[in-house]
Structure formats: structure tokens, C-alpha cells
């Protein structure tokens, strides 16, 4: 006679292995791209590597901790996370705000510092997943959809106005838009809203003028600004082209030797292509594609709508950021100062990305699966 027994699914090991590989590969590339600059600036070629290694270890701990908990627990903190994000962004204007490389985007006390824009990406995922899963039918009403977009626009607006970080604001709006689109049955509304939003963004860029309008000019004619705003873009393109099919070899990049500014940050993909060639660049893109596919699978097989929307939010974040970063490096879009997930240098980004991966892994465990157990198995 067979009895019923419930067994719990385990984490999505394919996703876990992919994440671990990418962060380890990121550490290798950070050392390769930053060792020269670190030696010149700080007299220690491992300066950036050690800082990133610390953030990676912390991120892995956060990921496993988050993955070990039931993801439903985080729903009750969604509103708190949203409010905390607003407070943290405003704190950038206070004495604890930190300015680096001409941008005031961090807050810190003592040796601890982080970028509120990274918290915004995680909090908007939790906030929207919680509210959309509670009353999914309400999002089919135009007024409710607009109200939800306003919630995201408030965070994005603060990021732009206070931290001058347009790229993070775009990502936050993109995450919110995709999560609402997945939940709503009225897709035509959102096509209209997307077109309207894009037109508004372009209008703001041209009306605001300043350095953002200058970036558009540089994007259109980088050679004309080769000694100024177009220098980084041109050097990145040289790196992409000089790598050939299989690259110059790991650690053999020439462009990282002071030619590509901050090569370990936004432009790390160009150095990957220079050292590992087009083959290496395509391999990384395939890995990110595989990660997105696993997140899609997790979303489709989640226990409930809350879990589905968490996975969709994480998927949207990774997809948007990867596409934007590679588009910037290849000069497909204007330079927005956006990092490549898991690979670029950045402690705050790494920790919060790993937290998101922990949430996705928690969702991947899903509900308990019922199967029949024979008497022999019971004995």
C-alpha cells in the first residue's frame, strides 16, 4: 500500500552555480583590470581585489541566509523597505553623504558606506511583488496602474534629483514597469505609458541640457570629443576591436594600463573582450542568458504570485542592467555609468545583487511536492 509524503524541492542548483561562477570570474577580472591602477594609486596591486573579495564573501553569506528563509517573510517588510529607501536617498544630502569621483551618491559612517540606489532596486522588487500579489485584479484598472508607476517614479525621481544617477533611476522604473506588465491583463495601456515615458525622458534630457545633453553629443560623434567626453568610449571600442576572436590572453590587456578610465567598473566588458576575445564576450552573454532563463523557470513554477513577481523583478533587474552595460560599452546608447552585474567592481552592488539571488533561490524551493511512497520505502 502506498502512502502520500511531501518532499520539499531544493534550490535551483543551475542558478546557484551560475551565480558563484560569475562572482568568481568577476574577482579574476577585477584583479586583471585594476592591478595597474591600484599599484599606481595605492602602491598595492590587490587593493581593489581585496575590497571586492570582502564584499563578495559578505554577499555570499547574505545570499545563503536569504535563500534559507521562506521568501513570504519578506513581504511584511516591503513597506518598511520602501520608506527606508526614501530616507537613505535623502540622507545623501546630509553630512553623512559621501562624494566620490565628482558624484555624491553614497552615505556612510566610519568605514561603512553604501549606495542607496542599490537598495532602491531591491526594495522596489519587494514592494511591487507584495502589493501586486495581494490584489492583482486592481492593476487592471488604469488608475491603480498609474498610482503604482507613481510609487516607482517617486523613488526614481529622488535618485535623479539627489544623486544624479540616471541609470539607476531607469533600472528602477524598468523593474516596476515589467512587474506591472506581467501582472496586468491590459497590456495596451502599458505600451502607451512606455512610449509616453520614453518621450518624456528624452524631452527632459534636452530641456535640462548640461552634462547629460553633452553625453548625447559624445555618443553621436565620439571622435569629435576624443580628448574629452569621448575618450573613455573610444578607448573601450579600441579594446573591443583589438581582442580579435580569442583575445590577447588573460591579464594581457593594453587598454587597462591607464587608457580606459576606471576599467574595473563600467567598462570591464571591453577588457574581457580584449583579453578573452569575442569568444569570451559571447560566453559571458550566454551565461547571463542562461541565468535569465533559470529565473524565468523559477517564476513560472513558483508557489504563488508573490514568488512569481519576486523572480520576475530579479530577472528584470539583471536583464536591464546587462543590456544597458553592454550597449554603453559598444556605444549603442549614450554612456550612463552602469555596471555589469556580478563582474564590475562595486561592493554595494554585489551585496544587494546576491540578496536578490537569495530571494530567487528561496522562491525556487517552491511549494512541497506530493509523491507516492511505497511500504518498502517507509521501512
Predicted confidence (pLDDT) per residue in 164-186, tens digit: 888 888 899 899 989 988 887 76
* Digit-coded pLDDT (tens) for 123-157: 999 999 999 888 777 777 777 777 888 888 889 88
The more confidently predicted of residues 54 and 226 is 54
Q: How many domains does the chain have?
A: 1
pLDDT of residue 211: 60
Q: Which of 84-88, 142-146, 177-181, 191-195 has the lowest mean pLDDT?
A: 191-195
Backbone angles phi, psi at 367, to 5 degrees: -85, 165
pLDDT of residue 369: 47
* Digit-coded pLDDT (tens) for 1-24: 445 444 456 788 999 999 999 999
Length of the chain (residues):
379
b/e code 12-40 from CB counts within 10 Å (16+ = b): beebbebbeebbebbbebbbbbbbebbee
Could you give the CA distance from residue 377 to residue 379 in angstroms, rounded to a whole number?
5
Q: Find the mean pLDDT for residues 88-105.
A: 82
Longest CA span, the chain: 80
Q: Which of 3-7, 108-112, 293-297, 337-341 has the lowest mean pLDDT?
A: 3-7
What is the DSSP secondary structure assignment for residue 163, as one 8-state letter?
I
Cα end-to-end distance, the chain, whole Å: 12
Q: What is the pTM of this model?
A: 0.89
Confidence label for 197 from pLDDT (cuts 50, 70 and 90): low
Could you give the CA distance from residue 276 to residue 300 in angstroms, rounded to a whole number?
35
pLDDT of residue 192: 67
* Digit-coded pLDDT (tens) for 325-348: 999 899 888 877 789 999 999 888
C-alpha distances (whole Å) from 269 to each of 45, 59, 235, 292 are 20, 22, 12, 18
Is the Cα dihedral 56, 62, 65, 68 positive or negative?
negative
Note whether 117 and 124 are within 8 A (CB): no
pLDDT of residue 2: 46
- Quick one: which of 255, 254, 250 has its CA closest to 276? 250
Q: Which of 38-47, 166-175, 253-262 has the lowest mean pLDDT?
A: 253-262
Task: Give bridge partners of residue 7 from the DSSP assignment.
Answer: 369
Cell, residue 207: 530641456
Has residue 368 got a pLDDT over 50? no
Note whether 302 and 322 are within 8 A (CB): no
pLDDT of residue 195: 67
pLDDT of residue 79: 93
pLDDT of residue 207: 52
Is the Cα dihedral 268, 230, 211, 174 positive or negative?
negative
Confidence label for 193 from pLDDT (cuts 50, 70 and 90): low
Backbone angles phi, psi at 280, to 5 degrees: -65, -40
Has residue 367 got a pLDDT over 60? no
In which domain, by residue range, is 236 found? 3-378
Q: Find the mean pLDDT for residues 192-209.
A: 60
DSSP H helix total and E strand total for the chain:
13, 5
What is the average pLDDT value for the chain, to the nearest integer?
84
Q: Find the mean pLDDT for residues 116-125.
A: 93
Could you give the CA distance from residue 132 to residue 145 in angstroms, rounded to a whole number?
10
Please give the share of the chain, as a percent, with pLDDT higher than 70.
83
State CA 265 to chain mean position distance: 13
Amino acid at each position: 500500500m502506498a502512502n502520500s509524503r511531501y518532499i520539499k524541492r531544493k534550490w535551483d542548483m543551475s542558478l546557484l552555480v551560475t551565480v558563484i561562477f560569475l562572482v568568481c570570474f568577476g574577482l579574476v577580472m577585477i584583479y586583471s583590470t585594476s592591478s595597474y591602477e591600484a599599484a599606481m594609486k595605492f602602491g598595492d596591486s590587490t587593493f581593489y581585489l581585496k575590497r571586492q573579495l570582502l564584499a563578495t564573501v559578505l554577499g555570499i553569506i547574505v545570499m545563503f541566509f536569504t535563500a534559507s528563509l521562506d521568501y513570504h517573510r519578506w513581504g511584511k517588510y516591503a513597506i518598511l523597505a520602501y520608506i527606508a529607501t526614501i530616507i537613505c536617498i535623502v540622507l545623501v544630502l546630509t553630512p553623512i553623504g559621501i562624494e566620490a569621483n565628482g558624484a555624491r551618491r553614497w552615505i556612510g559612517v566610519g568605514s561603512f558606506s553604501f549606495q542607496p540606489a542599490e537598495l532602491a532596486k531591491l526594495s522596489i522588487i519587494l514592494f511591487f511583488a507584495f502589493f501586486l500579489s495581494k490584489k492583482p485584479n486592481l492593476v487592471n484598472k488604469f488608475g491603480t496602474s498609474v498610482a503604482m508607476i507613481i510609487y516607482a517614479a517617486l523613488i526614481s525621481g529622488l535618485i535623479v534629483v539627489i544623486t544624479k544617477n540616471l541609470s539607476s533611476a531607469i533600472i528602477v522604473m524598468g523593474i516596476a514597469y515589467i512587474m506591472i506588465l506581467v501582472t496586468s491583463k491590459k497590456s495596451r495601456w502599458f505600451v502607451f505609458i512606455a512610449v509616453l515615458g520614453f518621450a518624456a525622458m528624452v524631452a527632459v534630457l534636452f530641456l535640462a541640457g548640461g552634462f547629460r545633453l553633452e553625453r548625447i553629443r559624445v555618443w553621436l560623434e565620439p571622435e569629435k570629443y576624443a580628448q574629452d567626453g569621448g575618450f573613455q568610449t573610444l578607448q573601450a571600442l579600441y579594446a573591443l576591436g583589438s581582442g580579435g576572436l580569442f583575445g590577447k590572453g588573460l591579464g594581457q590587456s593594453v587598454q587597462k594600463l591607464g587608457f580606459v578610465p576606471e576599467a574595473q567598473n563600467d567598462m570591464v566588458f571591453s577588457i574581457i573582450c580584449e583579453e578573452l576575445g569575442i569568444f569570451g564576450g559571447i560566453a559571458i552573454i550566454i551565461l547571463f542568458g542562461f541565468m535569465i532563463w533559470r529565473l524565468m523557470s523559477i517564476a513560472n513554477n513558483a508557489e504563488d504570485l508573490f514568488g512569481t513577481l519576486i523572480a520576475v523583478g530579479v530577472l528584470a533587474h539583471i536583464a536591464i542592467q546587462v543590456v544597458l552595460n553592454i550597449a554603453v560599452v559598444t556605444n549603442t546608447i549614450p554612456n550612463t555609468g552602469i555596471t555589469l552585474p556580478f563582474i564590475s567592481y562595486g561592493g554595494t552592488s554585489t551585496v544587494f545583487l546576491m540578496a536578490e539571488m537569495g530571494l530567487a533561490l528561496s522562491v525556487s524551493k517552491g511549494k512541497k511536492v506530493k509523491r507516492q511512497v511505497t511500504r518498502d520505502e517507509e521501512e
